[in-house]
Amino acid sequence: MSFYQLNPTSPVTVIGKGDGYAVAVIDYGQEHNLIWVTALNDSAEVWCAPNPLVRMKGNWTMGRERPGSVALKGSAPERTNTPTAQ
């Protein structure tokens, strides 16, 4: 068994629980899913979620779209290649 603290934390969505930050990962070995220790934003609860239920958040600047399998509360703005006025 290995326990890895994530520094910095990683924004994730836990399917069925909501958005939060992964603060650590527990690895029980090759016959088990990774377990993500996740602090949820809305409830301030800390859950240990199995790998199949954890999704990375979308990152517009990195070109990573939001996962389609996660129910979203709102839609992201359309990505364009035109610079914005400041």
- Are 55 and 64 within 8 A, CB to CB? no
Which H helix or E strand runs over 35? strand 35-40
The rounded distance, in Å, linking the Cα atoms of 72 and 15 is 10
pLDDT band at 69 (very low <50, low <70, confident <90, very high): low
- pTM for this model (two decimals): 0.71
Check pLDDT > 70 for residue 50.
Answer: yes
